[in-house]
Amino acid sequence: MNFLPQRQVHLDFHTTEAIDGIGSRFDKKQFQSCLIKGHVNSITVFAKCHHGWAYFPSETNEMHPGLHGFDLLSAQLEACAEIGVQAPIYISAGFDQKYAVEHPEQLRIFPRTMVRPEVAVNSEGYKYFTDMPGFRQICFNTPYLDVLAEQVKEVVKKFNPVGIFLDIVGSRLCFCENCRRDVIAKGLDPEVEENYWVVGDEVYKKYYETINAAARSVNPDVRIFHNAGHIACGKRAHAFANTHLELESLPTGGWGYDHFPKSAKYVKHLGMDYLGMTGKFHGTWGEFGGFKHPNALKYEVALSLANGAKCSIGDQMHPYGFLDDATYELIGKAYAEAEKVEKYCYDIDVVADIGILEKESFMRVYSAGTTSDTGANRMMLEGKYLYENLDPDCDFSKYKLLILPDSIPVTGTLKEKLLEYVRGGGKVLCSGSSGVDENGEFIFDLGVKYMGKSNINPSYYHPEYEALGLTSSNYVMYSDKHNISFVSGKVLGYVRDSFFNREPDHFCSHKHTPFKTENAAPGIVVGKDGGYIAWEIFSEYAEVGSFVLKEAVMKTIDEILKDSKTLRTNLPSGAVVTFNDQKNNSRFVLHALYSAPVVRGKSTQIIEDLMPVYNSEFEIKTDKKIKYVKLVPQNRYILFKQKDGKVNFKIKEFTCNQIVVLKY
Ligand SMILES: [Zn+2]
């Protein structure tokens, strides 16, 4: 569970045959001095790249012609071994440009629904059917799978690496002749896109079983990771095909700063060791000469530590085989800080009051950006709640509150599990159509009766409290509203309808129609089992980010949890806090982080300035008797008070991140 090295580099090396002199300036001493300077204790080096070439004399693949026989992989492995740096080996799996050109009949064929101009090139940088330069993807439902398996077996046999990293793979929609044939063989309609997922899942399962068997036939203990760019919540079989998890999440590469915590707060449940993988790039992979500010990397590494993850930083080596000195200075600044505090960061239990049942676990494919999961995660992070992300197989009993954001269906075994949870005193917060069963009724007593989705949009929210600290007004709600009738409970605010939807034959002003001045129905109610919010408020928050939405959710949660919250703090909304229990060391470890990414250029989130945060106050609810509170790595003891089951302390000033140890 705790075997991965803490400070890793993931070294890309996708190198075309159009460049000569590959590895010609590899220098063992230079390679080693960079790793030492970077405080790196593991680096993933490459046996085969996306262009399809081998970087060692291979019997199952062609060696890169630009190497002119130089065994670059062995040279790197030797360099790493000499200085005690681990070196798992990278093998490109989903992309093999050389093979794709030789075997166009084995390419993955994309569905027409995905071939729109705006998605012609996705974040993986490959092309669908356009003439844009980029890697082509191969379908594993072809003879390529056996070719790959032999290549994997050869690498494990020849180098006996500590681990292998296969890239980029996953369950995929493919409309090639083989996949179409398999859909038909199953008696499914080949004209229905959804049916291709049935085959896509089977093809992926066959892929990872074949590759794992090939690798383990040589070394049963070799570490294996299949990279899909995201560990999808709820896809446990896919996660368990790995020996550990690498959470690829480059904040400036399309993932954003909230993706990593979201992912880490799910994988913790799987009982596997995991790392957070960011990049040294300004933007994303393959960006030669792209650098992020050292402050950004420092923050990203601290965020991994706060979430119990080992760290990995992506880099790409120059075709001539030298590492970039400035890059390893950059990495070293972040990793030197990490090295000082690692012993406080692993072997932890996450303390959490709230569990979010993620919509993603009910979906076929992960869809980042504007889903209800994203909105719920941001609200939890910004609201400083202690939370984790759940799939239906998780144990719910540890949480005081479960959030079912916007559209979580509750039927079958999940319904039974949730009913047992509330019978045991657990509370829920539902919004939109969440919490409604197959009969169209709430399974919980939320103080309201469900009456279906309204066709009025937008509508308005009229709170009973002072939203934004101002006199209550009428706040526009862009998401769909659901109709309810009030039964009993506390109403936190009401729905006010607009006069009518904006249509060509009746509209008002530039944007949307104003509100009626009377309440149409309750909008937020807290009943016996928890709260209900009539709008799809979490996806709306992901989309528009209005404070009023977040405040409404926070007011509802606070009304439900009342005095039972574990943590209260005055940290600003841009701060992140985690609270972990290192039981084996009898101590709680609190991480407080603050950075304020700003958008620079067209859409890149940049961290440049790390501003100090002053006078941060914390109140922790715990039955444990606290012996001392100290700041790490400063090793400075600070004053605290413990009374009536609550511990209070203050951090006078911190910049970027601060770890606080509460010894019990
Ligand atoms: Zn296919």
Question: Does the structure show a pLDDT above 90 at 53?
Answer: yes
Cα 179 to ligand 1 centroid, rounded to whole Å: 4
Compute the distance from residue 239 Cα to the ligand 1 centre, in Å.
22
Q: Ligand 1 mean position to 106 CA, how many Å?
A: 7
**pLDDT tens per residue across span 589-617:** 999 999 989 999 998 999 999 999 999 99
Encoded tokens for 633? 């790595």
The region that residue 621 occupies, defined by phi over 0 for left and psi between -120 and 50 for alpha, beta otherwise, is beta
Q: Closest by alpha carbon to 400, among 436, 433, 427? A: 427
The pLDDT of residue 369: 56
Q: Ligand 1: distance of its center to the CA of 367 in Å?
A: 22
> Residue 631: what pLDDT?
98
- Distance from C-alpha of 404 to C-alpha of 532, rounded to nearest angstrom: 10
Is residue 115's pLDDT more than 60?
Answer: no
CA 142 / ligand 1 centre spacing (Å): 7
* For residues 569-579, average pLDDT: 98
CB atoms inside a 10 Å sphere around CB 112: 11
DSSP characters over 93-146: -SB-HHHHHH-GGGBPPPPGGG--GGGSB-TT--BSSSS-SSPPBB-SSSTHHH
Instruction: Assess contact for 428 and 422: CB atoms under 8 A.
Output: yes
For 607, other C-beta atoms within 10 Å of its C-beta total: 22
From ligand 1's centre to the CA of 204, what distance in Å?
A: 11
pLDDT tens figures, 413-461: 999 999 999 999 999 999 999 999 999 999 999 999 999 999 999 999 9
Distance 140 CA to ligand 1 centre (A): 7
Number of C-beta neighbours around residue 247 at 10 A: 26
Average pLDDT over every residue of 485-502: 97
Residue 114 — pLDDT band, cuts 50, 70, 90?
low
| pLDDT for 517 beyond 50 | yes
Q: Is the pLDDT of residue 632 over 80?
A: yes
d(CA 600, CA 602): 6
Q: What is the pTM of this model?
A: 0.96
Enclosing H/E stretch for 236: helix 236-240
Going by pLDDT thresholds of 50, 70 and 90, the confidence category of residue 363 is: confident
- Give the mean pLDDT of the chain: 95
Judge whether residue 275 has pLDDT over 50.
yes
What is the CA(178)–ligand 1 centre distance, in A?
6
Integer angstrom CA distances of residue 595 from 291, 305, 535, 655: 18, 15, 31, 9
pLDDT, position 429: 98
Distance 158 CA to ligand 1 centre (A): 31
Percentage with pLDDT > 90 across the chain: 92
Give 294-344 pLDDT, tens digit per residue.
999 999 999 999 999 999 999 999 999 999 999 999 999 999 999 999 999
- Ligand 1 midpoint to CA 199 (Å): 9
- Residue 110 Cα to ligand 1 midpoint, Å, equals 9
| Phi–psi pair at 401, nearest 5 degrees | -145, 135
The rounded distance, in Å, linking the Cα atoms of 644 and 189 is: 64
Concatenate the DSSP letters of all residues of 460-489 into one string.
EEEESS-GGGSS---EEE-SPBEEEEE-SS
Q: Please give the distance, rounded to the nearest whole angstrom, from the Cα atom of residue 176 to the centre of ligand 1.
A: 4
Task: Tell me the one-letter amino acid at 595.
Answer: S
* Whether pLDDT at 128 is above 60: no
Mean predicted confidence (pLDDT) in 38-45: 98
Per-residue model confidence as pLDDT tens digits over 150-208: 999 999 999 999 999 999 999 998 999 999 999 999 999 999 989 999 999 999 999 99
| pLDDT, tens only, 367-410 | 665 689 999 999 999 999 999 999 999 999 999 999 999 999 99
Of 288, 297, 291, the residue nearest 316 (C-alpha): 288
pLDDT of 293 higher than 60:
yes
Of the ranges 106-115, 258-267, 337-346, which one carries the lowest mean pLDDT score? Answer: 106-115
pLDDT at 124 over 90: no
Region 206-228: mean pLDDT is: 98
Which of 404, 414, 399 is CA-nearest to residue 435?
A: 404
User: Residue 125's pLDDT band (boundaries 50, 70, 90)?
Assistant: very low
Token pair in block for residue 387: 């939370």
Buried b vs exposed e over 284-293: b needs ≥16 C-beta within 10 Å?
Answer: bbbbeebebe
Distance in Å, CA 170 to ligand 1 centroid: 13
pLDDT at 254: 87
CA of 12 to the centre of ligand 1 (A): 27
At 133 the pLDDT is: 78
More confident residue, 100 or 113: 100
Q: Is the pLDDT of residue 661 over 80?
A: yes
Cα 20 to ligand 1 centroid, rounded to whole Å: 34
Residues with CB under 5 A from ligand 1 (ion): 139, 141, 174, 176, 179
pLDDT at 130 over 90: no
User: What separation in Å is there between the alpha carbon of 28 and the centre of ligand 1?
Assistant: 42
Measure 89 CA to ligand 1 centroid, in angstroms.
Answer: 27
